[in-house]
Structure 1
């Protein structure tokens, strides 16, 4: 008899830890088997069986049965079928044999105490054994005789097994609740992390990275948070909570807005910059239900309740739309959008929106530190570039100027250096030989460039550039005159009519 109150104690422990009674029995059996191996100094697998009613404890050595000696990998843990059937004639391969004794080799000098025993100690058990024989050491000791070291080992194993059962229970309870809202109390603070008491027995943690900078809590404060992860790691709270996750915003709206809870209004997306601003896109499944109005509530009562819970975080409730342009215009509220053009961003596999706003709406559309446009882009799932009307006009003017310059350069490149008015042929030959074979290349050169050509000094270079410039001016005037003539002719025709 190990302990007449053992069964009652185990049931009390299981109730206290809220774990299955059988798990506690199994944990204690494993712990006692570990203690027995320590006490008997053996590597043979051992098993302890506790009677669930009386608390009676029985210990065994376990041997796995294999077909023959070629399959034995661990002689301490395995027997051949032939050996096993001497004990139990009905046993089969892969079965197990329970023995009530430990086997050790009898030697004069012990090299491995887990497998050998001194002759004089063995003869205390069986007086007829001699060196080289095997002695069977019966498992007759009670657990309270195992000694302090063995008891300490048993205690560690029992604590570990019970702790594993507790963590498994917590995991099974909360793993299916990821994304759900949980209520709790702030229990304590550890290096900036908040430890939350969830149900009196389970602790959750809100890491510093999941806390809003706009919120301050004290020990004992009630708190709502959303579960973002549940893990099975051996250290620290298993339930990870968040006050910054967008799912918290969604769950708060589900609590406050009955139309969302019953499915009439659907939340299409939510994004947050915790403590500052949030955007939530909503749509209605019924034509006569206004999704934005349902979320705002009478005189803003519903949304104000959520804003208070989030410590003043501003919330934009946006009507969702299938059309990305309309949705973008809604998402960038409160700014008024002039127009939106959509292009494809192949590298990012998402739309690219060019948004044009009036000059006085630019800062409102971008928001403080780019917050408004950043949240809108995240909500839509697109890249957004915002420009004012003035910027767009400047870009158009620059593009036209570049096109004009390109056209002029093309015209100049068609004028051969020999065709430049008043330029001596011998100078034209030198310029052409040096690579300045058209009007454009000459105009784009400097005095220093031209003086590098043999036979051309500074005065000559300046004269060449002056002739090229005059030629271009004359050419431009010549092109304008036909247009003026045509205009005059048109006016005369009109007068005749």
Structure 2
């Protein structure tokens, strides 16, 4: 068909109708029509021609034009869409390279195949515009709650109508054994919005910790206004959850505000989460105090924190052990998620046995190494001495505070300890030499003979070997694997070398070898300091 005056306005009406139905810009529909008409014209005039179509936005009149570009003679390739300066002179005055000559051509008659092709182009463009519109609308709504209507269920996944599009609630994002029927209303959390080849994919969740936080924000005005902040959330979806809150207004109790009058606020969240029990806990900057709160309703006797390992030992009364652990470990697991710490729970009796075992090990060390009787060795341990190095190199006054120890006895103790350490150093160095350790590592400041022996056992025998080590390989560390923290043993960990010391030693070795320029290192540290200062300001 040709585009006659009778159907020129029909083009605009069609574009308006499609745009209204798909909720997109009518200009995008008209651009799709222009492209489809241009494609049809090329099939009539020749595919190598540069045919363009422009539809007037007011009258609907379609103008077909042929465009030819002036190019240098040696670059002329497409004779239908390009011409040289000489050729252009018969059409233009003073033509220059890069100029375009545009002439109007008669409209084309669109046959059945061309019309079908034009229709496909328009539909494709409309679909792309619709996808772009949907992505732009929802990409900034990730992290918020939305109400939807259940459309259908596919392989356990729920397809939800969220107004201007569809979203997916995967089966592992549903609470417990939730089931939905078509047309059920559902409240969900927009977890992620991704742009994919088949269009934007919107993924929903009802199990995400953020879903609970957003529900509380809706129910508790103080959270919405920023007076109360949710610091952490841990969930066992459909069963139990813990939420830590802090108030920035001393007159407002954060726990009471979240609970509400007669529990009305928290009950509204519980009902939405299918009866999930919620413990509301006051946040505290002091981790041990916060952990004591997080383990509620169990009572805690003592907390021992290992900040470097990110681990904590909690001591509870014997009768509180099952309550602290919870059913199937639920209470301690949620407390661990809330505090981001590994938690070991032991009873007072178990903790007493552990301390007794440590006491006996240290006592035996002093008996065997220093040739002391049991009573005297126990006195040393009771005063807090844990190693031969502490006895050998401590200030003499610290030994004199022990009952029955005078200067002569203290001096004898230190001499014996130093003799044992010296003998052990000699043995360790001899074995390290047997293993092939080179002088470059032996002479490195900061490594004891026992450390050098341990490194040699691990295959580190030269300064170059040492310089290639990572700090955690020396000091040890923790790695999270599938949500569980796993211990990485360090070669020098038993010598109480921490990550900062290990990093400093490795960097020193690299500077000695010329691998690192110390001036560049100082510049980097200065830049980091400036960035930190800017963030603080």
- Give TM-score, length-normalised by structure 2: 0.63
1:272–1:43: structure 2 CA closer, same or farther, 3 Å change rule? farther
Change (3 A) 1:38 1:192: farther
Take 1:91 and 1:193, find their aligned partners in 2: how far apart are those partners? Answer: 64
Greater C-alpha radius of gyration: 1
Query: 2:301 aligned with 1:338, yes or no?
Result: yes
Partner of 1:379: 338
Indicate how the Cα distance of structure 1 residues 364 and 51 shifts in structure 2: closer, same or farther if over 3 A, else same: same
Question: Please, which runs of 5 or more residues in structure 2 have no aligned partner?
Answer: 373-537
* Correspondence 1:98 to 2:102: yes
The answer for the alignment partner of 1:42 in structure 2 is: 47
Count of residues in correspondence between the two structures: 367
Query: Is 1:366 aligned to 2:325, yes or no?
Result: yes
Report what 2:412 is aligned to. none
Provide Cα deviations, 1:304-344, integer angstroms capped at 9, x if missing partner.
11101000111111101111111111112122111212222
1:56 CA drift (Å) = 2.4
Q: Distance in 1 between matches of 2:165 and 2:342?
A: 43
Measured in 2, the distance between the counterparts of 1:360 and 1:93 equals 92
Q: How far apart, CA to CA, are the structure 2 residues paired with 1:91 and 1:164?
A: 39
Q: How much does 1:72 deviate?
A: 5.2
Q: 1:292 is matched with which residue?
A: 255
Counterpart-to-counterpart distance in 1, 2:354 and 2:360: 10
Deviations 1:90-118 (A, max 9, x none): 76544544345xxxxxxxxxxxxxxxxxx
Q: How far apart are 1:374 and its partner, in Å?
A: 2.5
Contact 1:215–1:275 (Cα < 8 Å) also in 2: no
Residue 264 of structure 1 corresponds to 227
TM-superposed deviation, 1:8: 1.0
The change in CA–CA distance for 1:170 and 1:364 in structure 2 (over 3 A counts) is same
Kindly indicate whether residue 402 of structure 2 is the aligned counterpart of residue 398 of structure 1: no
Map residues 61-460 of structure 1 onto 2, 5 A cutoff: 61-66=66-71, 68-71=72-75, 77-84=81-88, 86-89=90-93, 93-100=97-104, 140-142=107-109, 145-148=110-113, 150-199=114-163, 201-235=164-198, 238-345=201-308, 351-407=310-366, 409-410=368-369
- Superposed CA offset, 1:41-68 (max 9, x none): 51434322122233322333334444x2
Q: Distance in 2 between matches of 1:390 and 1:76?
A: 94
Give, in angstroms, the shift of residue 303 of structure 1. 0.6
Return the offset for 1:353: 1.9
- 1:405–1:249 Cα change, 3 Å: same
Matched residue SS, 1:194: strand
CA positional deviation for 1:69 = 3.6
* 8 A Cα contact 2:131 2:199, kept in partner: no
2:65 is the counterpart of 1:60 = yes
Question: Is 2:17 aligned against 1:17?
Answer: no
Contact 2:34 2:54 in 1 (8 A): yes
Structure 1 residue 8 and structure 2 residue 13: aligned?
yes
Which of the pair has the greater relative contact order for Cα pairs under 8 Å at 6+ separation? 1
> What SS does the aligned partner of 2:346 have?
strand
Work out whether residues 204 and 237 of structure 1, in 8 Å CA contact, stay in contact via their aligned partners in 2: no
The question of whether the paired residues in 1 share the 8 Å contact of 2:135 and 2:200 is answered with no
**SS at the partner of 1:231?**
strand
1:26, CA displacement in angstroms?
0.4
Greater CA deviation, 223-232 or 14-23?
223-232
1:394 and 1:94, CA in 2 relative to 1: closer, same or farther beyond 3 A?
farther
Q: CA deviation at 1:202?
A: 1.9
CA distance in 2, matches of 1:385, 1:89: 89
Equivalent-residue separation in structure 1 for 2:312 and 2:100 (angstroms): 71
Question: Pick from 32, 37, 42: which aligns with 1:32?
Answer: 37
Equivalent in the alignment of 2:438: none
Q: Do the aligned partners of 1:36 and 1:146 also contact (CA within 8 Å) in 2? A: no
**In 1, Cα distance between the equivalents of 2:147 and 2:261?**
27
Deviates more, 1:282-291 or 1:150-159: 150-159
CA contact (8 A) 2:156 2:171 kept: yes
Distance 1:94 1:373 in 2: 74
Secondary structure of the residue that 1:87 maps to in structure 2? Answer: coil
| Cα shift readout 1:391-422 (whole Å, capped 9, x = no counterpart) | 22222232233334445554799xxxxxxxxx
**3-state SS in 1 of match to 2:195:** coil
Q: Distance in 2 between matches of 1:158 and 1:212?
A: 42
Q: Cα RMSD (Å) of the superposition?
A: 2.6
Q: Secondary structure at the match of 2:301?
A: strand
Q: Any gaps of 5 or more consecutive residues in structure 1? A: 101-137, 414-497
- Shift of residue 79, structure 1, vs aligned partner: 4.2
Task: Provide the C-alpha distance between the structure 1 equivalents of 2:302 and 2:79, rounded to a whole number of angstroms.
Answer: 82
Change in Cα spacing, 1:96 to 1:341, as seen in structure 2 (3 Å) is farther
Q: TM-score if structure 1 supplies the norm length? A: 0.68
